[in-house]
């Protein structure tokens, strides 16, 4: 019997073993046919990076002795490219990326491999969404997976604006504590960087990059502020990165060759 349900491609940046990926895949199977293609290893913070000059390896992956999906020895963007060119026989109806450990709000959006995978899907003219849970510890993906399913159903019915993905950040709280859903813009919160210097066994210095996200937003229209008030923040992110407001002022410079 032919399964006419929508075909959903699931990816992430935390790797094939990530709990959030499994929660998302299980949730998506309730509404469609699911193909999982994810990095063989964690690739957080890769943004829109892709692998050049090094061969990619695609392998089957089993969970509990059953086929679960495919791994790619590269970045989240590599996974989308490999899925569309070598794994799938036809384009999926929608791509969902996540569920990420940690928020992808404000400037995190620029670094996020979760968002990068969704953007690559949109570049390939496929409706795409990125889902993130706003915690790095004690993660509970139950409500996030449920909300993802609800929103994917909506997008399958309504579609998305051209060249736009949805970046969805979900608070790590019980469903009863969710205050609502906010349509937001990318906030201005940024990382306060901290680089830790240490020496290896030979006395050579090496460095760990760390830091914390500084809240620089103060209203419900900004994603990071909204999730801190226990709202699900849905931010439309455009493939076109042009600052259109800057075009006319720059034209007034009257530059010549």
3-state secondary structure 72-130: ECCCHHHHHHHHHHHHCCCCCCEEEEEEEECCCCCCHHHHCHHHHHHHHHHHCCCCEEE
pLDDT number for residue 255: 87
| Confidence band for 217, pLDDT divided at 50, 70 and 90 | confident
Q: What is the pLDDT of residue 224?
A: 93
Mean per-residue pLDDT of the chain: 93
Confidence of residue 189 (pLDDT cuts 50, 70, 90): confident
pLDDT of residue 193: 65
Q: How many CB atoms lie within 10 A of CB 202?
A: 5
Ligand-binding annotation for 100, yes or no, is yes
37-41, 43-47, 167-171, 209-213: segment of lowest average pLDDT: 209-213
| Structure confidence by residue, pLDDT tens digits, 155-165 | 999 999 999 99
How confident is the model over 51-98, as pLDDT tens digits? Answer: 999 999 999 999 989 999 999 999 999 999 999 999 999 999 999 999
pLDDT at 214 > cutoff 80: no
Per-domain boundaries in the chain: 7-187+217-251
- The fraction of the chain above a pLDDT of 70, given in percent, is 97
* 13 annotated binding-site participant: yes
What percent of the chain shows pLDDT beyond 90?
Answer: 79
Q: Is the pLDDT of residue 191 over 70?
A: no
* Confidence at residue 2, expressed as pLDDT on a 0 to 100 scale: 75
- Tell me the mean pLDDT in the region 124-149: 96
- CATH level 2 (architecture), domain 7-187+217-251: 3-Layer(aba) Sandwich (3.40)
User: What pLDDT does 23 receive?
Assistant: 98
Judged by average pLDDT, the poorest of 126-135, 142-151, 173-182, 209-218 is 209-218
Determine the Cα–Cα distance for residues 77 and 83; give it in Å rounded to an integer.
10
Question: Among positive and negative, which fits the CA dihedral 68, 71, 76, 81?
Answer: negative
Under a CB-based contact definition with an 8 Å cutoff, are residues 32 and 1 in contact?
no
Find out whether 132 is annotated in a ligand binding site: no
Query: Residue 227: which pLDDT band, with cuts at 50, 70 and 90?
Result: very high
């Amino acid at each position: 019997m032919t399964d006419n349900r929508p075909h959903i491609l699931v990816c992430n940046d935390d790797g094939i073993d990530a709990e959030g990926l499994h929660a998302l895949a299980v949730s998506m199977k309730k509404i469609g046919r699911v193909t999982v293609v994810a990095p063989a290893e964690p690739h957080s913070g890769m943004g829109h990076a892709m692998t050049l000059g090094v061969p990619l390896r695609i392998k089957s992956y089993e969970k509990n002795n059953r086929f679960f999906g495919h791994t790619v020895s590269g970045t989240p963007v590599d996974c989308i490219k490999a899925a569309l060119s070598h794994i799938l026989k036809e384009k999926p109806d929608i791509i969902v990326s996540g569920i990420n450990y940690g928020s992808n709000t404000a400037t995190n959006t620029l670094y996020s491999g979760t968002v990068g995978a969704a953007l690559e899907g949109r570049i390939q003219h496929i409706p795409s969404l990125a889902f993130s849970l706003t915690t790095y510890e004690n993660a509970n993906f139950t409500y996030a997976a449920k909300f993802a399913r609800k929103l994917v159903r909506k997008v399958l019915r309504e579609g998305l604006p051209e060249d736009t993905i949805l970046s969805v950040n979900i608070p790590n709280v019980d469903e009863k504590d969710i205050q609502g859903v906010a349509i937001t813009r990318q906030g201005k919160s940024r990382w306060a960087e901290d680089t830790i210097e240490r020496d290896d066994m030979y006395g050579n210095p090496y460095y760990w990059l760390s830091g914390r996200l500084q809240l620089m937003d103060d209203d419900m229209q900004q994603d990071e502020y909204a999730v801190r008030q226990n709202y699900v923040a849905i931010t439309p992110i455009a493939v076109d990165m042009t600052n259109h407001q800057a075009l006319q002022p720059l034209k007034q410079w009257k530059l010549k060759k």
